[in-house]
Structure 1
Amino acid sequence: MKESKGVLGRSARTQSGVQRVVDLQLTTVYGDFHAVGYLDLERGDEQMALIYGDIDGTEETLTRLHSECLTGDSFGSTHCECGDQLSTALRAIVAEGRGILLYLRGHEGRGIGLLAKLQAMKLQSEGLDTVEANLALGLPVDARDYGVAADMLHDLGVPSVRLLSNNPRKREALEHHGIEVAEQVPLLIPPREQNLSYLRTKRERLDHHLPHLDAVIHSS
């Protein structure tokens, strides 16, 4: 089976594929955000944007596209760095004084779903890497679609972003859907013993920019 490192998702559209459903103020441990709830009209997924500060009329807004990860975001799994990336991104946005975090549901396990992700994690515990595990299940390496993220940004009036991500495919996808990426800002989380192999695979096979692994690899 051909290894797929990710796709741009749906073709660029001339009209929005999201419906804004609700706006509210949301107080969190990180700060006071403006939350906007969206319905993805194509997939039916419920999505949310968290906005900090005044983004009206601003360009190059610090922005994080965060893929849903129940095990990491909610339960603090050390298998991945997702939970730490979520909290670090929110802190960075607050420190910046303005910014956006899009929490993208339907992205669990790089788009293969929760149960398939758990099956892939079990295969990884038996010796496969994260790419090999997805392929062994007959699933794509990365099935995420970022078209909905671009639609949300268009709806919010954000023409350009500074993208808080190590993944070049997020940048490619946003640009494909008409969002300018002025800069890709690294989001580097110190690796743990439990996820070092996973992170190495992301760098070596999925092209993630993870230069901070060099020191760990050289010392191991």
Structure 2
Amino acid sequence: MKISEIATLPTKHGIFKIQSFKEGDKEHLVIFTENMPEIPLVRIHSECLTGDALGSLKCDCGEQLDFALKAINEKGGMVIYLRQEGRGIGLFNKVNAYALQDKGLDTVEANHQLGFEADLRDFSIVEKILNHFGIKKIKLLTNNPRKLFSLKNIEVVERIPIKVTPNKFNENYLKTKKEKLGHKL
């Protein structure tokens, strides 16, 4: 694993520090507050170009990222931004999955139709990143139980749900996340 220098990132949510972690061909980003509390808020966030950068209403990713950055700015902590677009299937396949969703399939069915599992994301680098920062206990901002179970050597002292307001474009998506992927919505 290669680790970049630390740089300052001023944002609409506050002024953060950033550092990149490179493992294989994946480059991940950590956005963190300068004054880290003993038990920081942590958001493990998988890249979603359409939601995070373009403001897509088909998912809740951008809203979750905004919620996390605001909370972390207020209380101290970090967002671990993992470069694993489309639940790990990549941007090209995600767009194809979107096209299948336009035809009536849900997000899980679309991934299966394309020959993928429902969720191919890998969270193994998260513990390495937390260890780099000397963090052993966290308050995890998540609705996804897989993220809780992926942390074997980090104590999650509290799971803090991220609440977003459903809209007509993501109601089925959120229902599928809850019913088929076990998200705590």
TM band (smaller chain): over 0.9
What is the aligned counterpart of 1:148 among 98, 112, 125?
125
Q: Relative CO higher for 1 or 2, CA cutoff 8 Å, sep ≥ 6?
A: 1
CA RMSD of aligned residues (A): 1.0
Distance 1:46 1:150 in 2: 15
**Post-superposition offset of 1:60:** 2.5
Q: Report the counterpart of residue 184 of structure 2 in structure 1.
A: 209
Moved over 4 A (4+): none
What is the aligned counterpart of 1:128 among 76, 86, 105?
105
1:25 aligns with 2:8: yes
Decide whether the 8 Å contact of 1:167 with 1:208 is kept in 2.
yes
Decide whether the 8 Å contact of 1:59 with 1:159 is kept in 2.
no
Contiguous gaps of at least 5 residues in structure 1: 1-17, 211-220
Q: Report the counterpart of residue 175 of structure 2 in structure 1.
A: 200
Report the TM-score when normalising by structure 2: 0.96
Q: Secondary structure of 2:146's partner?
A: helix
- Which structure has the greater CA radius of gyration? 1
Question: Share of identical aligned residues, percent?
Answer: 43
**Post-superposition offset of 1:28:** 1.2
Q: Secondary structure of 1:22's partner?
A: coil
**Residues 1-220 of structure 1: pairs in structure 2 closer than 5 A:** 18-40=1-23, 43-55=24-36, 58-96=37-75, 98-105=76-83, 107-174=84-151, 176=152, 178-210=153-185
Q: Secondary structure of 1:87's partner?
A: helix
Report the TM-score when normalising by structure 1: 0.81
Decide whether the 8 Å contact of 1:112 with 1:140 is kept in 2.
no
Distance 1:39 1:115 in 2: 22
